[in-house]
Structure 1
Amino acid sequence: MKSLVLSFLLLLGAAVSAQHPTSEMSFAITVSEEVKSVFQPEGRLFIYVSEAEEPEPRFSSVFGDGYKFAKNIQGWDSSQVLNLEGHDELITTADWDFSAVPEGEYFVQVLWKQNDESRSNTPHNLYSRPVFIQLEGNQHVDIALTEIIPERSLVSHDLVKFFTFESEVLSNWWNKSVSLKASVLLPSGYTMNPDQNYPVRYNIGGYGSRYTRVNALAEDSEFMDWWTGPEAPQIITVFLDGEGPFGDPYQLDSQNSGPYGEALISELIPRLEKEFRITGSANTRFLDGCSTGGWVSLALQLFYPEHFNGCWSYSPDPVSFRHMQLVNIYEDDNAFYNAADYLIPSMRDVYGNPRFSIKQEITDENVQGYSNTYTTSGGQWGGWNALYSPKGEDGLPKPLFDHETGVIDSTVAAHWKHYDLLKYTRDNWSSLGPKIQDKIYIWMGDMDNFYLNNAMRLFEAYLNETSAPESNAEIVFSPMKGHCTDYSHRKVLEQIQKRLLALEAVETGE
């Protein structure tokens, strides 16, 4: 019987192979004269293969089409051709390698990651222009690194400012110079009122969002017409930066990224508030964000309750790791497959249709990571893992689960409890509760695309049963709404203004 089954499988494989002919693809990669002056000999080589020219293949991800391959390279002489054969070993998101590429039409692009940022499409890295390939037989592809990703910059606007400084706290921890960056959006009356001090809103963006996101607002004519008009509140907005050693640092202390929370509270905030005439009072200091920013704003309000006077948290990351999306990290055995042996989705549309699984997401991050694992990917799971996990013996974050099998490490899961916001709130309610009254606003779509509503339901259930004090947190669930659907900068600024007017009324006795 076994021999019959084996014969059938071999015939089936032969039939599939006949239906989808494959050919080998090899590469000769060169460094053009235009970029040799900035080329570094050590880095990670990425090769992207896509059936579409736009967006450029180098932007392919688990959210879209295309395949990526990667390999660490050391000692690459820019005057020499880097040859890669089809049988050379590269980690990939594809279920084929370059020795057997399904024949067809492709656009191929190469990127050389040589900087020290956590992700690949970042300044000072080099890349090629997309090359069109009609694969109908073995093909050797000549491709050159000709382009440099430029440095970030802010738009030129009187109300937009750049802020940076060398962090002594982080520099001492890493034993090298570490700088923090932020951008600032000033209110319309700032220049005309040189003696006035202002309340402040600290905005945290979605995962990995950089300080340059202020550009989108400054170039939004509808927003800026309102912002410079008579109805806009006179509030300073600070856009915190979402880049750390392993991805987004989440503005908190961790064993892996270092004391980012301490650097924020003891260095960035005092320095920035002094430079930009901010009141310097916790009473007029607020937080907001969506997605990662939603979680960080809530976490900072909980961990530093007397330092901020309110957070507006939209679609926050999982606030309980009993619902880490669809995984209970404390009780489940595997992050890829559920108890019914189905692949666990990571994203869905608002009608419930899955878009990709956690396993697919991790496969993508494994390619991004210089260790060939998600722990150094700079991606979402890599960022979570770097924040919540202990440091391993190799100096890298210990993985919550195996990068190939998804098997969960219960000892690492136990360490994640330190960042479980529901557990922290429950364990500290008697002292924490009075300090966060009137300070918590949370919005969540009840069909969140990343299943974040599940954890928030647990958080809401706990707050509803609190006493001494009874929580007055406002948690809004919107039916059939997805991730960050109701978030907008104008809406948050108007919510903060409402809070400021309420505080002013209390102070004046009105």
Structure 2
Amino acid sequence: MRARLAGALCAVLLVVTGTTAAGVTGDGRLRFALTLAPSAARQAGRSAVDGRAYVIVSRKGAPEPRDQIDITGGVPFWGRNADGVRPGRPIVLDGGGGTYGYPLKSLASLPAGHYSVQAFFNTYDTFRRGDGSTVKMHMPCGDGMDLFHSPGNFSSTPRWIDVDPRHPRTVGLTLDRLITPSQPVPPGGTCQQGNPADSAHVKHVKIQSPALSKFWGRPIFIGANILLPAGYDPNGTVRYPVEYHFGHFTTNAPRGFREDGGNAFSKWWLSDAAPRFIVVEIREENPFYDTSYAVDTPNLGPYGQATTRELIPAIDARFHTIAAPYGRLTSGGSTGGWMALASQIFYPDVYGGAFAGYPDPVDLRREQIVNVYDDANAYDTIREWDRTPRPDSRTVPGDTNYVNAQENLWELARGDRDRSGGSWAMWEALYSRRGKDGYPAQAWDKRTGAIDHSVSAGWKAMDLSAKVAAEWPALGPKLQGRVFLYVGDTDTYFLNTAVELFQQRTDALTNPPSGFTFVYGRAKPHGWSPYTAQEWFQIYADYVAKHAPKGVDASAWRGPRVTPRLNVSGGEIVPAEKHVGLPR
């Protein structure tokens, strides 16, 4: 207790004098005392803040230490939660249990050296949700949960210090800089309402969602980036099919389009050769991640309802879309691949076909390479006398980039209770029930990886493979021949293994047979696609024309058909490469 009091007294001395105190007696630990500058607090309009405080150290002067954090090859950083922080009152980060770091767990492990150091503070808002829970989380503001650049957060000006474990010291750092929104804020509004500027072919929509606002207990907005086809006439009568292209949060134009025709896709899109489609990219950043996954969940709220019943009708009302399932296709890769497939499965009466690439795990017997239902540990394969780390990311030749424990512990240092903004935290928020504390129930111990099967068993409700198999009598007539999946068979994150399990399960379905198409790229990594964007739109055009109601004239938007290998025949793409995954 005395050692802690001594550290606190030194921290107070730092606040008063603004100097670095050396020679602190006590437990011999290096400490950092972080204080919020009154000027930064005034600029933010806050008298006190809740959140998570960090210290980041680097041997390099540039870029700033906060920009050098990564799972591998990144610099050490440590964090701890801090509530009710007021200007001038220190937050102390030390080698104690309340401070947790990555890749060095404890500040006491930092070796002697000359370091550039920086303090950071991730602010949490208090959400009194409609489900009765109260949680503290960071609300992104047009940044897509880019934690170390998110508006409303504070940082210190980096400074150089010398560290020597033989000589304990307390280092004072002042959080004197506030991150402000990069997008324009509407008069009298908030940064969540901001929209990028429109152009001739690129438009933006944002609405307040009644369903999400009720769930989160405050106004929640969802939006979309819209790409219009060449020749689009807002006063015309032609209605166009829509590609709902899912992915991570972005304010960029869909499909990389440029008004000046400065790339191959843009030139093609504006040419006579391109089918006339409208492209919609959803923008749904939220307190857990940079996208919602577009389904209803206990932890994120009714994002599926908000997307399908609120946002899509608003888009249909403003633009000349074909407002019927046959004219709405879903697509995307990785996170967007999961969203494209899940949207088709959960809302088959809204969408008419899914074209999903290298999706996040679609069968949770392979959450990457973890069987969440049967494995004992998410980080290691455990045997009687030994244990082997589970790889998380690999190269095509087979080298391991990093293992599951590394990414999960990196996320834990960024934020506990699934507040890291990372992929594993988001998956838990997506799949898990709500825990007793209001945050997602933890499927495994974040420090050890030990799986709690009483939690992971409940993930089956969001397991796309399990859902399709269990509900096939109802889903089959609506999904038959409407799912197209493609993935490299050496996907960087092992996502092909879940796709193969999904294929095995759906190939066995009858009454009706699934008619799903699976395309695998031999020795291809994450991000592989069998076709270019231009070729995909030719496929989409043929597909929509094939499934349009009898008598519909597609000539106004279909464009020329250019190459036989892109035909849709019998509900199936004629693929460049195709093979069935090996049984497991």
What's the TM-score bracket when you normalise by the shorter of the two chains? 0.7 to 0.9
- Determine the C-alpha separation between the residues in 2 that align with 1:104 and 1:330: 45
CA distance in 2, matches of 1:63, 1:197: 49
The reply on whether 1:117 has 2:161 as its aligned counterpart is no
CA change 1:63–1:296 in 2 (3 A) is farther
* Partner SS for 1:351: coil
Decide which of 63, 71, 85 is 1:62's aligned counterpart.
71
Aligned to 1:131: 159
What letter is aligned with 2:116?
Answer: F
Residues 262 and 34 of structure 1: CA distance in aligned 2, closer, same or farther (over 3 Å): closer
Are 2:315 and 1:253 aligned? Answer: no
Equivalent pair of 2:40/2:176 in contact (CA under 8 Å): no
After TM superposition, give the deviation of residue 490 of structure 1 in Å.
Answer: 4.0
Distance in 1, Cα, partners of 2:226 & 2:311:
13
Aligned partners of 1:376 and 1:26: how far apart in 2?
Answer: 23
SS of the equivalent of 1:127 reads strand
Unmatched segments (≥5 aa) in structure 2? 1-27, 125-137, 184-194, 555-584
Residue in structure 1 matched with residue 372 of structure 2 by the alignment: 329
CA pair 415-504 structure 1, distance change in 2 beyond 3 A: closer
Q: Which amino acid aligns with 1:366?
A: L
Query: What are the residue-to-residue correspondences of 1:94-243 with 2, within 5 Å?
Result: 94-95=103-104, 97-114=106-123, 116-117=138-139, 119=145, 120-121=147-148, 122-133=150-161, 135=163, 140=171, 142-152=173-183, 154-191=196-233, 194-205=236-247, 209-214=248-253, 217-219=256-258, 221-222=262-263, 223-243=265-285
Structure 1: gaps spanning 5 or more residues:
1-21
User: Structure 1: how far apart are the matches of 2:76 and 2:277?
Assistant: 45
How far apart are 1:384 and its partner, in Å? 0.9
In structure 2, relative to structure 1, the CA distance for the partners of 1:452 and 1:93 (3 Å cut) is same
What does the per-residue CA deviation read over 1:365-418, in whole Å, with 9 as the maximum and x for residues that have no partner?
A: 11222xx34x23221111111111111111111011111221111111121011
Q: How far apart are the structure 1 equivalents of 2:305 and 2:285?
A: 16
Aligned residue number for residue 543 of structure 2: 499
2:458 to 399, 415, 418: 415
Q: Deviations over 1:243-298 (max 9, x none)?
A: 22322421111111111111212111111111122121111011011111101111
How many Å separate the matches in 1 of 2:60 and 2:519?
Answer: 40
The alignment of Structure 1 onto Structure 2 pairs a total of residues equal to: 482
2:257/2:266 contact within 8 Å kept = yes
Identify the range of structure 1 (352-361 vs 193-202) with the bigger mean alpha-carbon deviation.
Answer: 193-202
Contact in 1 for aligned 2:295/2:346 (Cα 8 Å): no
Provide closer, same or farther for how the CA distance between residues 55 and 322 of structure 1 changes in structure 2, counting only shifts above 3 A: farther
CA-CA distance at 1:37 after TM superposition: 1.4
Q: Does structure 1 retain, via aligned residues, the 8 Å contact 2:240–2:322?
A: yes
CA distance in 1, matches of 2:457, 2:471: 18
Q: Is 246-255 or 88-97 further displaced after alignment?
A: 88-97
**Residues 395 and 401 of structure 2 are in contact (CA less than 8 Å); yes or no, is this contact kept in structure 1?**
yes
Matched residue type, 1:46 = Y
TM-score (norm 1): 0.86
After superposition, the Cα gap between the structure-2 partners of 1:128 and 1:263, relative to the gap in structure 1 and judged at 3 Å, is same
Structure 2 Cα separation of the partners of residues 280 and 385 of structure 1? 33
Using the TM superposition, give the Cα deviation of residue 181 of structure 1 relative to its aligned residue in structure 2, in angstroms.
1.8
SS of structure 2 residue aligned to 1:114: strand
Whole-angstrom CA distance in 1 between matches of 2:213 and 2:168 = 51
> Secondary structure of 1:494's partner?
helix
**Bigger shift: residues 349-358 or 49-58:** 49-58
Q: Distance in 2 between matches of 1:232 and 1:297?
A: 23
Kindly report the root-mean-square deviation, in angstroms, between the aligned alpha carbons of the 2 structures: 2.8
CA pair 439-100 structure 1, distance change in 2 beyond 3 A: closer
CA contact (8 A) 1:23 1:135 kept: no
1:346 maps to 2:368: no
Paired letter, 1:414? A
Alignment CA distance shift 1:134-1:366 (3 Å)? same
Encode CA deviations 1:106-129: one digit per residue, 9 max, x unaligned.
333332222632642322323234
Q: Secondary structure at the match of 2:427?
A: helix
Of 401, 404, 408, which aligns to 1:358?
404
AA of the residue aligned to 2:262:
S
Which residue does 2:316 correspond to in 1? 273
Q: Structure 1 residues 103 and 493 mapped into 2: Cα distance closer, same or farther (>3 Å)?
A: farther
Q: How does 1:416-455 map to 2 (within 5 A)?
A: 416-455=459-498
Q: Percent identity?
A: 30
Is the aligned partner of 1:310 residue 2:341?
A: no
3-state DSSP class of the match of 2:528? coil
How far residue 497 of structure 1 moved from its aligned partner, in angstroms, is: 2.4
> Residue deviations 1:423-477, cap 9 Å, x none?
1111222332221233211111101111111111111122333332223221101
Partner-residue secondary structure (3-state), 1:74: strand
With 243-252 and 25-34 compared, the bigger mean Cα shift is at 25-34
